[in-house]
Structures are given as structure tokens and as C-alpha cells.
Structure 1
Amino acid sequence: MKTVRARYTQRGPNPHELISPVEMDLPDLAPGEVRVEVLAAPINPSDVLTLTGEYGLLPQLPAVGGNEGVGRVIEAAADVNAPPVGTVVLLPVGCGSWSTHLQLPAKSLVPLPAGVDPVQLSMLTVNPPTALLMLRDFVELKPGDWVIQNAANSAVGGYLVQIAKLRGINTLNVVRRESAVDAVREAGGEHVLIDGDDLPKQARAITGDAPVKLGIDCVGGVSTENLARCLSEGATLLNYGAMSGERCMISPRYFVFRDITLRGFWLSQWFKNADPEARKAVFAEVGGLIATGKLKARVQQTYPIADIAKAVAAAAAGERGGKIVLVPNG
């Protein structure tokens, strides 16, 4: 059987010029394997950084793009009883999901509910767990507490707004341009602020004297300090990205006089250290929310694998209105 995969042999500053669809032959199924038709696979910022060579974990070249997605089992080796043919499954992290078909160990697949939009399910592995874990694991938050985040119009930002709302947590949602405000409000973000020197004033106008215990930064640069200035004494500031392309800038005064803690979060590190039951529980919680329609992401456009270069270019562009998702067999 033949498959088409989005393959690249080098890395560089123009990722869409480096990746192209390549037809390959799939071998016969080995014992314990199943053949999966890939239904949908998103293009995340980490995927783009992997193509440019700027991500923290880089595969050997040549490589196939795609770190997450969902598929449907279409064939199984004779010794495989589960998951049965026809099951929609979550693909393992880092499997090269930008492919029309994959052959994978049956035991590496997580069955998913039937009848759910595969495009929404395809984003289950990376962004929703990132939002959930940052809200859950660093500061003890109770209903009514306040959290401030920047890049609120990003995919993680949208999930964070929705998860916080389900838990009764209030969010201050910071964006860098006026045109991004509506997208955050559509995701459920009631309070949307524009980043700048007056950010603390904007925040206090909403929260009053209520403490802001957690800040979540995906931008870096001076935006890191802007968030720090909004936090209450003893709060935690959590960085998980650098959309500005700049290092986190923050004065020592916030560490010394305000007792602000700056920490980092990388989902790959969490996966590495978490036990299988913890990973399973997170996927079950997120998957349940997506399956019931309580958690969803904005999607700007889907692309077939033949248009992988256009899809990567769209994902790398600024001011998008939602996720770019590959539908390899579309």
C-alpha cells in the first residue's frame, strides 16, 4: 500500500519551502501493528519551530512533519484484537502525523469517541493539556480567583479561557492588537486587554483589590514584565513560549520586593516525567470536554496533504484567525 507523507530533509528560516509531499510504500503489517488512515493533524507553532530548527527537540533528518493527530484503524495484523478496525484513535506523539496513512503498534493508540469532529479531536494532545496543566499544577486556584495570560488569542489561550471558565476561575486576557479582541471574546473571554505600559492600570480597573495569583506568558520580551506588574505579591509567572522572538525581560525588583516566581513549562518535559496513569487521566479529561462540545478551538482553514507547503506558510504567518489543520485524505 502507498502513503503520502510531508517530508523534509533540511531546516531553515523559510519552512514552507523545505517540506513537500512524498509518496512512499508501506510494508506489510508486522505482528502487533495496525494500519491507520490519518483523519486530521494540526500544524502547531512547535511544528514550525521544528522545521526552522529552533525547537527544543529536533528529529533526525530526513523527517516527516506532524506531532499529533487522529486517525481511523483500517487494517490490523492477525494477532491484534484491539482497537478493532473502524475505531477512531489518538495518534502517539511524534509519529509523523502529516501522512495519509501510518503503521503503528496497536498498544500505542488511544481509542476515542465516535461521532466527534476529527479536526477538533486532532488537537487533543498538545494545546489543551498545556492549558489544563498550567492552570492546575503551579498555583492552587479556587473558584473566583484571577489569572492573567497574554497571547490570549492563541490556541492555548483559547483553551485556557474555556477550562478556567468551567472551573469558575476568572481570566484577564491580554492581546497585542485590537483586531484580536473579538476572537478572545468569542472563545468566552469576558475581559480582554491590550498589552502595553498601562496594562496594570487596565487590570486593576477590572479586578479591584483582588489578588492575581498566576500569570501565563507566551510572548516574552517586555510583555513578561508587563504581566509581572499585574501580579500580586508572592504570585507565580509561568512562561511557555516566546512569540516575540525575545528573551523574557523582567526587573529583579519583582523577584526581590514582590516575591514573584518565574517558572517555565514545556509539555514534552511533563510527558517525560508523568506516569502513564497521569497522562491517561489528562487525555481522558480533555477528550471528554472536546467530545461533549465544552472545549473547542477556532480553525482558520484545513488543507489536503498535497498543499502542505501552503498549509505550513499559513501556520507560520502572523495574525491568523485560528488553527491550520491538515486533513491528509481530504
Structure 2
Amino acid sequence: MTIQYPLANTGFALAMKEDQELPSSSRIELQTHQISALKPGEVLIKVLASPVNPSDLVYLLGKYGLPPENGKFVGFEASGIVVDANAGFYGKYLKGKRVAFSATPGLDGVWSQYAVTKANFCLPVRKELTDEQAATLIVNPCTSVCLVDRAKGLGAKAIVLNAAASQVGKGVIRYANMLGIKTIATVRSEANVSVLKQVGATEVLLTTATDYRKTLKDACHQHKATVLLDAVADKDTPEVMSCMPNGATAIVYGRLTETHDPVGGQFAVADLIFRRAKVEGFWLATYIAKASPLSVLRLSKKVQKLFADGVFQTDVKANVTFEQFAQALDYYADNKSSGKVILTPNG
């Protein structure tokens, strides 16, 4: 395939709005950008599939760890075929291969027909993985593995996880089971209780139950849960930590409250002082940036094997085209645990 530059590329760009109450679909608009000849280290990818993640929703609100860039294409991860490369030996190796990849900060995102990214942000994928699985390989499964591995490194025999019906939460439960680590999952919807029990959670607690705090405290002490994997932040962090044994650690990897509430994070100072509680953060982008290429490759191989073995799987609610995407985006914003919305821009 010979690429003629500049190349017209259609996708969804960020349309910044001050009103935080507006739906996600009002914060994007379909645009066509021109792709110039690749710079050294870059590859051009024809996008096959790209999911919507909670991090995308937070970015649309202008509250993510990366500053919002009005007019830039949105979307953090995807799968696709490398159709051109200007990245030395690795770029030549990637050309023609199907890859999972993430957007490069400062360049356009990946909710588009084509994407340009750095070659080292691309991971060749096994043939057993579907395009949808490959598209969701990086953000959620890699986060699940890193979180559980960190909990194991902290000596955890059991962990608490909130927002447990998410794709990360389900991955944490399945992977923790493999390692013999018990999981206490908390959810807001009663419909998710049976779902997570089937996934393999040791305990599933409904946060709206009248005896929630007592049940959580009893479960934490019975199973000796010493690590909280926290995707919610805000008041949930100190509330759960207050129910855990002394010396527990909260690993905060998300702030789902930021998709609808600007409060952000909170923690109990008294717990840090008197109960030896600890709070640390995790962001996959920072982990990958600091890790050696060999460590990233090992992580990728581990995650892909877990997919191939059926330990990980991505629940997909809908595959949609450009025409259907805005409506599907708003649906996902209100129903994150029902499954991924996958954009197929060339479908």
C-alpha cells in the first residue's frame, strides 16, 4: 500500500465547552485533518477499532492528566494495521502488522480513520485476539495486571476494589484469582452483584445496602484485606480505608467522580497518622514511560496470553460507525459497566 501525503483523515476532535453539565457527545465534532509525511520515530496506522474508556470521558471534561487540546482528535487506544513507518528497524518490522497502540501526547488521538503515533507505542498482537480485544489491550488489561502485581508486591492476601463491575475491575478479579488473592468487590448496582460472583469475586458488596459499612469492615478483617484498588476517589477512599486493617494501602488509579463531580480526591488524615494508612497513585502512562522496553514487552505478552487463555475478556456493548458514535458515547457515559462502545471508523 503506497501512501500519498498529505493524507485526508476524518475523526472526532475535541470541542471544548465550559458547561460541565453538557453530555459527552456535545464535546466532540467530526473533522477532517491532513496528515503530513511521517517524522522520525513515527508510524501511520489504519484504525480498525477504538474503545471509549472512562479516561476519555474525563479528558473531554478537561480534567485528565493531559491538558485538553481543542481541535485535536480524541481517543487514547486502538487497534489497527501499520501501513507506513519512518522508525528504523522496528518500524520496518511493524509495517503490515496488526497492532494494539496508544496515542502519543501532542499528536491527534485515535478516534479517526488513521492515526500517527510513535513506533514504541505499538504492540504487535496475537492472531487469536479479535480487533476489539486488541483495541482494549493496553488501558484496561495492563492496568489490571499492574495493579494486582503491585498489591502482590505489597504482600496482600486480599484486596478491596471499588467500581468493580468495570473492565479493569473484572480483570483484577480474574487475575487475582489466578494468583490466589481474594477480592472484595463493591458496586452500586444490585444487577452487578451476581455478575461479579460469576466472574469469581470472593465477596461482592452493595454500597447502597443499609449495613454496607459493617459488612465491608467484617469482610476486610476476615480476609485480611490490606490493599484498596480505588477507581472512584472522592469520599470513597477514606470510607473504605476506615473499614480496613491498620497499615492498609490505597492505590488510586482513577477518579470516576470527576466524570460528573469536580470534588476530586479526599483522604482521612487521622488514618495516615494513627492507623499507618498509605495512599499512592497509579497511571499506566507513567508506568510505561518509566519502564524498560523489555518490561513493557513482558507485560504485553502476559496480557495477551491471559486474553488467549480466556482469563481476560472485553465485554462489548456495541460496535458503531461515525454516524452512531455520538449517541453511543452518551450511552456509555451513563452505563459504563454494561460493556464497551467500540468505534470502527473504517467499518
TM-score (normalizing by structure 1): 0.87
* Segment of structure 1 superposing worse, 58-67 or 151-160: 58-67
Distance 1:175 1:257, change over 3 A: same
Cα deviation, residue 61, structure 1 = 2.6
Q: Secondary structure at the match of 1:55?
A: coil
Shift of residue 303, structure 1, vs aligned partner: 1.3
Aligned pair partner of 2:179 in 158, 163, 167: 167
Structure 1 Cα separation of the partners of residues 283 and 200 of structure 2: 25
Q: Could you say which residue in structure 1 is the equivalent of 2:113?
A: 100
Of 124, 144, 162, 1:111 maps to: 124
8 Å contact 1:21–1:308 — kept in the other structure?
Answer: no
| Offset at residue 7 of structure 1 (A) | 1.6
Secondary structure in 2 matching 1:60:
coil
Q: Does 1:187 align with 2:193?
A: no
Structure 2 residue aligned with 1:213: 226
Sort the Cα spacing of 1:247 and 1:7 in 2 relative to 1 into closer, same or farther, 3 A. Answer: closer
Contact 2:165/2:337 (CA < 8 Å) preserved in 1? Answer: no
Pair 1:20–1:9, CA change in 2 (3 A): closer
Deviations 1:242-273 (A, max 9, x none): 22334444433322332111222222222332
Match of 2:243 among 220, 230, 236: 230
Q: What is the Cα deviation at residue 315 of structure 1? A: 2.6
Q: Is residue 2:81 matched to residue 1:72? A: yes
The answer to whether the Cα contact below 8 Å between 1:212 and 1:230 also exists between their aligned partners in 2 is no
Q: In the alignment, is the contact (CA less than 8 A) between 1:126 and 1:267 conserved in 2?
A: yes
Q: More deviation in 290-299 or 198-207?
A: 198-207
Q: Which amino acid in structure 2 is aligned with residue 263 of structure 1?
A: E
- Gap change, CA 1:209 and 1:59, over 3 Å in 2: closer
The RMSD of aligned alpha carbons is 2.8
**Counterpart in 2 of 1:89?**
99
Question: What is aligned with 2:16?
Answer: 10
> Do residues 278 (structure 1) and 295 (structure 2) align?
yes
Q: What 5-or-longer segments of structure 2 have no aligned partner?
A: 1-6
Secondary structure at the counterpart of residue 181 of structure 1: helix
User: Once the two structures are superposed, what CA deviation does each residue of 1:3-52 show, in whole Å capped at 9, x if it has no partner?
Assistant: 32112242443331131222345456678765422111111111111111
Q: List gaps (5 residues or longer) in structure 1.
A: none
- Shift of the 251–81 alpha-carbon distance from structure 1 to 2, 3 Å rule, reads closer
Q: Distance in 2 between matches of 1:211 and 1:329?
A: 49
**1:227-306 map, 5 Å:** 227-244=240-257, 245=261, 246-306=263-323
Distance 1:241 1:30 in 2: 33
Q: Partners in 1 of 2:264 and 2:60 — Cα distance? A: 21
Report Cα offsets for 1:89-148 as digits up to 9, x if no partner: 1223345111112345656532111242111111111112222222222553669x1111
Q: What amino acid does structure 1 have at the position aligned with 2:204? A: V
More helix by share: 2
Amino acid at match of 1:301: A
Taking the aligned partners of 2:120 and 2:293, their CA distance within structure 1 comes to 13
What is the SS of the residue equivalent to 1:58? coil
Larger mean Cα displacement after TM superposition, 189-198 or 262-271: 189-198
Q: Is the 8 A contact 1:11 1:53 kept in 2?
A: no
SS at 2:328 equivalent: helix
Q: TM-score, normalised by structure 2?
A: 0.83
Does the CA-based 8 Å contact 2:220-2:244 persist in structure 1? no
AA at the equivalent of 1:253: A
Q: Matched residue of 2:165: which SS?
A: coil
- Give the C-alpha shift of residue 240 in structure 1: 1.9
Query: What does the per-residue CA deviation read over 1:208-253, in whole Å, with 9 as the maximum and x for residues that have no partner?
Result: 6441111122222332223113322212122222223344444333
Q: Would the aligned equivalents of 1:139 and 1:213 in 2 still touch at CA under 8 Å? A: no
Report the AA paired with residue 239 of structure 1: V
Once the two structures are TM-superposed, the CA of residue 311 in structure 1 deviates from its matched residue by 3.0
Return the alpha-carbon distance in structure 1 between the equivalents of residues 57 and 314 of structure 2. 19
2:44 is the alignment partner of 1:38: no
State the number of aligned residues: 328
| 1:188-203 → structure 2 map (5 Å cutoff) | 188-195=200-207, 198-203=211-216
State whether residues 11 and 111 of structure 2, in contact with CA within 8 Å, keep that contact through their aligned partners in structure 1.
yes
Moved more, 293-302 or 130-139: 130-139
